[in-house]
Amino acid sequence: MNWNEVRLLCGIYGTSGREHAVRSYILQELKTCGLPENAVSADRLGNVLVHKKGALSAKRRVMFSAHMDEVALMVTVLHADGSIGFDAVGGVSAAAVIGRQVLVGEQRIPGVIGSKPVHLLSADERKKPAEMSGLYCDIGTASKEETEQLVQPGDIIYFPENARDFGADSFASKAIDDRFGCAVLLSLIRSELPYDTDFAFVVQEEVGLRGAGVAANQLKPEIAVVLEATTAADIPGCEGADRVCLLGGGAVISLIDGRTVYDKELYDLAADICVKNGIPHQTKTKIAGGNDAGAIQNAGEGARVMAVSVPCRYLHSPVSVIRKSDAEACEKLAFALVSALQEKDV
């Protein structure tokens, strides 16, 4: 796993519909891979599609996919006192952002997310979860006129770049979901692959899996492998199946989630690869979440899908945490699947 590249990718700012900087980095890196000019394209929605020639022609059309966008907040209104109202881009919990430092707009203006002071909350308000409508962003201005010189509705509020090693075998950052997957795809593309393979770096996953279906309609895969990050709730207060998956448990191979019933033969193939190659692996213990497989599965004539995910604590928050060993297990499995999906009878 190229951890320097994971850090670089996580540090880039690019939420749903604003993936330009992430796409530019990926396109620049693809220029160094010796690919023919017609092997790389960017469609009208912003997806980056890549065809990588392998040593042998593919027996079936296989696509590996990861999404470029990250969750964030969007400015919706400027208040008379200079504070900023906003809403979420993607599934961001209001409780996860209260008191957080943020960066606002293209100028990356420092801000703080504020909420009604606890001593002013009514008894009923204290019992209810926080809502985005009750929060505001403070950038140190004192009037709407002052704020609108710096910020406009539609500007994005990002969580700051914060990638770092964390503990003995962990990595913490914003945007691990899904810059981790993008890093794995780049690693595959840079390699000498045994078979022709298609790749899709897609947009707008966090707001409804919008880019993946468009990409699949163009590439028409028979089989698609989605590289993702998925929720690990192995934290205090969560027990048994509610933990979903565990950091340190290896690559997560999904059977079912909130959007997709995965192909059982492909699941069995991936699990068998892991057992034979000593790759740590696990599956989810609860039906939760969803990813681009849900859109790829029913695009065009349909595709058989599987998801290989890194377990991730604090997903969709300002800082997420993964184990490096889990990420490396996902990458090893992805490399093995390039051959297995062509050679095995599935």
Q: What is the DSSP letter of 160?
A: P
Pairing of strands 170-173, 48-52: unpaired
Give me 20's structure tokens: 């330009």
| Residue whose structure tokens are 């209260």 | 98
Give me 300's structure tokens: 């065009």
CB 114 within 8 A of CB 83: yes
Residues with Cβ < 8 Å from 322, sequence gap 6 or more?
A: 170, 171, 176, 180, 229, 247, 310, 311, 312, 313
Cis amide bond preceding 196, omega within 30: no
Give me 155's structure tokens: 């500007």
Beta strands in the chain (DSSP E): 40-42, 48-52, 62-67, 72-78, 84-89, 101-104, 109-115, 135-138, 156-158, 164-166, 170-173, 197-202, 223-231, 251-253, 281-282, 304-312, 320-323
Is 131 tagged catalytic?
no
Choose the catalytic residue: 70, 205, 206, 228.
205
CB 138 within 8 A of CB 55: no
Active site residues: 205
